[in-house]
Structure 1
């Protein structure tokens, strides 16, 4: 963002403190970030040289999961920790397959909410809510959610690259359980989460130190802990919880160089 962007940004934003959504935007080649976010992203690349590639594969995984769910008849999506709008957002992918699809984007970052509202204004299939996913009951009862989604029909809940910013003290399993209890059988959870396996202790501590200076500290978990979180919502569809590039890859799609291990999957509430 330019200096003018910073002067006109929401007043509650501290442009000097990096934020995960805006770092992610920079890693994806976006433009909606501040110098502090760009600096943090550059530091991450020095610690984890393939982190921008991981970010892209995370978006590819999201797209495949949405296409799978729309093919199964799901047309409602609640995107928790949606981040900044970028190419191939959830509503674009879903509405391409099912034009009647409806999406609610939820993010705590005011910049993400402002940009989403500006970009998506006039699309009756999309709503935006600025809220903290650590308060799921507020989200579930918000007018933006209740007026937009029909809770008598299946809803796909998206937690892609967000739960590793939720500490154990904030009870990520409790968050997922609250959402699970609010939706009907046939609903789904799309989840991806950074794993503490694969990368070295030095890489993990280096990345953690960078995020510790941001508004969104990171909390990597073991494969077993991530699996337990996903199963809080329901049973995992095939192929289970796997490295994101291995979840139902498109024909000809190659696995990425998994210096950073990110696991993903789709769980169904029965």
Structure 2
């Protein structure tokens, strides 16, 4: 049966259409998750447990910087003073399942975006679809850059601080597998979604909820919010907070430019329409 025109579709038709887009997106995540499940050694030994090894690229790079500046640091240690343990019967199997699902989400993210765009785009005007070309590519690129930033910057900084922090020499760190994986997962995926800020601002500007003047007016409050956020997700040292805050502030500035561009295009379209009606 041919697909109905969006203007002819009822509310229930839209719900049915949305249901199938969600089913296809979920199926893609499941398939990608199954693939990740089969590559258990690579996912855990190389990716998940990578930041636990002092041979991790971030530690080697920061160690060289510290040595160059003649600063004592824990980045040059031989190994972290903690072990990862499992304390429940199904702990490792559950960790395998949930890690595969989240890996499937990351892998299938472009296709999930494609399904979201396929549902939204029929309701847009031709000029809006034209100006929104590259949505999937740009959104996916920002997401993957954010994931890499979280994995190679936030995760190792957090592990290095938390693993070497001690309130007493009598206490030994034996980290539960769920706690460790949660830190790696949340740092990477949360950063991926944070890097979607320009895309979010683009659509909020399109619907009139945000303006470039609003973003500029509250820029100083955004700066405070970013510093607070970076203080929460990173170790409590200035260097780490600045490393995390800088890209987020750059994204905010880019969002202001995108918002201004959207408003300018809307004014041009309105002016062109007004001239045609005269």
Whether TM exceeds 0.5 here: the answer is: no
Structure ranking higher in strand proportion: 1
Structure ranking higher in helix proportion: 2
TM-score using structure 2 length? 0.26
Which has the greater radius of gyration?
Answer: 2
TM-score using structure 1 length? 0.26
